[in-house]
Amino acid sequence: MAALAAAAAVLALALIFGGDSDSKPAEASAAAVPGQPSVEIVSPRNGARQTSHAVVVKAIVQNFHLAPRQFERDPQLGEGHIRFSLNRVPDCVDPVKLLHAINSPIGNGRLVGASFDYPRYSGPNGVLAERIGSTGSYSPATRPEIFYHRLQWGFYRLTVTLAQNNGAVTPYHAVTNFQILVGKHQHVEPCPAGKVSSAKAAASLE
């Protein structure tokens, strides 16, 4: 029951911080149309829970050619690269902002947590992000995978978006939410008065 409750919390948080709790695990945000580009996250699965502080993200890209040699060049139909964007859900949320997020499950109402798209977290992809000026926003990649490490415990939201050669985004993307569990010997400070924990925020939507 505890495992089911935790998984439900991850999915409920998707409504606040982005994602689709009604979709299949880690699938593209919109139904794929035959012949059109699509991207699907196969790891980590939506609602995954792990103790490791590192995660290997793997995606499946269809009808879209990843073109390393064309990176930052003129856009061409059906080719480009990937934008990986990883954000950590805030531990303690202002109730007013939480209410706004609940009432606005799409668009600007969502709460955005700290980014992990920096060289110290996303490695070579983060270095590339630093070079092109996307640090703290997304980590570019010309392969359908990325390795994030040195992650803290907590809830995370991962977005994978297909982009053109020149970096312009396309509408094709996928979202997944996962949790890194607190270690046995770790102590978590309670939220200050007036703030709501991310776990309680999810419970409020059940």
Asked if 111 and 93 count as a contact pair (C-beta separation under 8 A), the reply is yes
CATH of 2-203, one of 2.60.40.10, 1.10.10.10, 2.90.10.10, 1.10.3210.10: 2.60.40.10
Reference 172, options 56, 39, 8; nearest CA is 39
Residue scoring higher pLDDT (185 or 173): 173
Domain segments of the chain: what residues? 2-203
Asked if 97 and 108 count as a contact pair (C-beta separation under 8 A), the reply is no
pLDDT of 184 > 90? The answer is no
Whole-model pTM: value is 0.79
E-assigned strands of 9-125? Answer: 38-43, 48-50, 55-62, 65-66, 79-88, 92-93, 114-115
- Identify the top-confidence range among 81-90, 105-114, 121-130, 154-163: 121-130
pLDDT band at 26 (very low <50, low <70, confident <90, very high): very low
SS3 147: strand
Cα(78)–Cα(64) distance, integer angstroms: 5
Cα(130)–Cα(133) distance, integer angstroms: 5
